[in-house]
Homo-oligomer: A and B are copies of this chain.
Amino acid sequence: MLTQSTARSVSSKQTASHLRSVPPVGSHALEGNMELMGASMSFNRNAEIYGEGEPADYVYKVVSGSVRTYKVLADGRRQIGAFYMVGDVFGLESGEEHTFSAEAISDAKVLVIKHSALVALAERDNEVARQLWALTGRELNRVQGHILLLIKTAQERVVGFLLEMAARASNNGALELPMSRQDIADYLGLTIETVSRTLTILENTAAIELPTSRRIVLRNRSALNRLSA
């Protein structure tokens, strides 16, 4: 269920009109098509984009802001599956239902594309089919990397997380993290206290700098690389 019921109802109208238009048969490249086929939709900070168990009828692409997917266990523990930044595609499932829930971390705009439209397109265009498969494959690689993070020590996890974020932002070494310490903790399988302490230690050893709690500058890459495994 969407907490942002207004947003959903608005989008329903949007998708109803936009998604019917069939893209030209000659066009290739999934990227271009998604832009054409998608309806834009906005979510406020912490608004739910979709919930675990809901039919996975749409695929999403981040236009602005960022998104987290997560699952809450029976006893309340929350595991964050992934963070999605601008340009990232999420919500592409192989089954009928979403296996995780998705929320906007900060106010976010996303493209919403009908899953069935992509599949139909893939039917006629091998290149699109290949790219959809590749998308699932890249997601698989990401999750496997996540597993490797989760078996490491707290420090290795935090450093691994920072390096992962830095690799994605690729702004030399300055990170503006959209997510809270709690989000990071739930992504890494740690507590917020351990994440905070570890960052402090990294700052004290001059590996990173923390101008503000959300801004992190990687000062010593080689040290961080060493600490990450």
Contacts and interface: CB of A to CB of B under 8 A. Distances in A.
Interface of A: 71, 73-75, 77, 79, 81, 93-95, 99-100, 122-123, 126, 129, 132-134, 136-141, 143-144, 146-148, 150-152, 189, 229
Contact of A143 (B122, B134, B144): B144
Nearest to A145: B99
Copies assembled: 2
Given A141-B99, A144-B99, A148-B73, A133 B94 contact: yes
Contact of A147 (B75, B77, B147, B229): B147
A38 B61 CA distance: 38
Nearest to A134: B94
Contact of A126 (B123, B137, B141, B189): B123
B79 A151 contact: yes
Interface centre among A99, A133, A148 (most CB of B within 10 A): A133
A163 to B, nearest CB: 14
Contacts of A81: 144, 147
Nearest to A146: B147
A129 B133 contact: yes
Given A71-B148, A77-B151, A150-B150, 15 more contacts: A73-B152, A73-B229, A75-B229, A79-B148, A81-B144, A94-B133, A94-B141, A99-B144, A122-B129, A126-B129, A132-B133, A133-B133, A136-B140, A139-B140, A147-B147
Contact of A144 (B100, B123, B133): B100
B151 A189 contact: yes
A99 B189 CA distance: 23
Nearest to A77: B151
A77 B151 CA distance: 9
A111 to B, nearest CB: 21
